[in-house]
Amino acid sequence: MGTYENQEMQTPENREIQTPEYIHVPENRAAQKSSLKNKGLYLIIPILAIAFAEFMIYSGRPIEAMEVHAVILLGLSLSMLYIKNEEIQKTYQALLLLPILRLVNLSMPAFYEETLYSFVFIYGLLTIPVTIALTDQGFTRERLGITFKRMWIYIPLSIIMGLLLGVGEYLIVETNYLIPDLSIPSLLRLTLVMVFLVGLVEELIFRSILQNRLEEFLGSRGSLIITSVLFGLMHSGYGNIGEVFYTLFVGFIIGFMFYRTRSLPLVTMIHGFINVFLFGVIPHLF
């Protein structure tokens, strides 16, 4: 394999740029190519809006943040109707999963006590828009990372990384435990929820959908950076700037591993085991 910079995926738009001048480019295709010359402008507004909404959560104004996220959701949805470029449409579909994630997350505690099982309601609901996006994005199983190769290496690796990264995060936020004890049944319930629901849904959103789509839009490096920043911003609910930067760092590590391995199970298990140690094992030990 080549270097990280040299492995950026060639998109249809990039190939069109190399089209010889004597070959006629259809008018609609030419218009799409022209519209993507300033593709960064299509990203900066929704990303800044998401950052603003998350800053409001960070500053203790969740209701206003929900209102901003609702506007973002509406704006992205309407933009998908009026912007004809398919690449932008799919990019906006990937981005709108973030306000959906935040709106569902913020609304649930108003009706349910925030326990381990509240995660079941939150991420159970999120499987609906995530499944729709997975279908519409059109990525292959290999691109999504749906493979179970090298699991004999990835399982112990994910546990070790989950422990190390979980300890680092606990030192910043000192979370409370979500299970009453460290018995096998309690740990099994926590692992099932955090790995096969929370970790899986979030990694589908941030890696399989968003990172993949931004790779098509910006290339591998830009995709990894923006996805990591968004991953960090979406952890602003702790009201701790150190947590935002730490999860940005964790998101970069997980994103880079996904880029290198294209293994959804690996990044899902790393994410899930971080939460297992963060919300279960470490609080009980310390």
55-91 pLDDT, tens digit per residue, is 999 999 999 999 999 999 999 999 999 998 899 999 9
Which band of pLDDT confidence, cut at 50, 70 and 90, is reported for residue 14?
A: very low
Which band of pLDDT confidence, cut at 50, 70 and 90, is reported for residue 255?
A: very high
Nearest Cα residue to 181 out of 283, 272, 275: 283
Domain locations in the chain as residue ranges: 5-285
Whether residue 269 is predicted with pLDDT greater than 90 in this model: the reply is yes
Q: How far apart are CA 45 and CA 9, in angstroms?
A: 25
Whether residue 113 is predicted with pLDDT greater than 50 in this model: the reply is yes
168-215 pLDDT, tens digit per residue, is 999 999 999 999 999 999 999 999 999 999 999 999 999 999 999 999
Nearest Cα residue to 91 out of 123, 147, 45: 45
Nearest Cα residue to 54 out of 14, 111, 21, 103: 103
Report the predicted TM-score, pTM, of the whole model to 2 decimal places. Answer: 0.86
Overall average pLDDT of the 122-147 stretch? 96
Whether residue 11 is predicted with pLDDT greater than 70 in this model: the reply is no
Question: First-to-last CA distance in the chain?
Answer: 43
Q: How far is CA 232 from the centre of its chain?
A: 10
Other CB atoms within 10 A of residue 241 CB: 11
Share of the chain above pLDDT 70, in %: 85
pLDDT, position 114: 63
pLDDT, position 27: 40
Q: How far is CA 236 from the centre of its chain?
A: 14
Kindly calculate the radius of gyration of the chain based on its CA atoms and give it in whole angstroms. 20
Angle between helices 86-95 and 27-35 in degrees, nearest 10 = 40
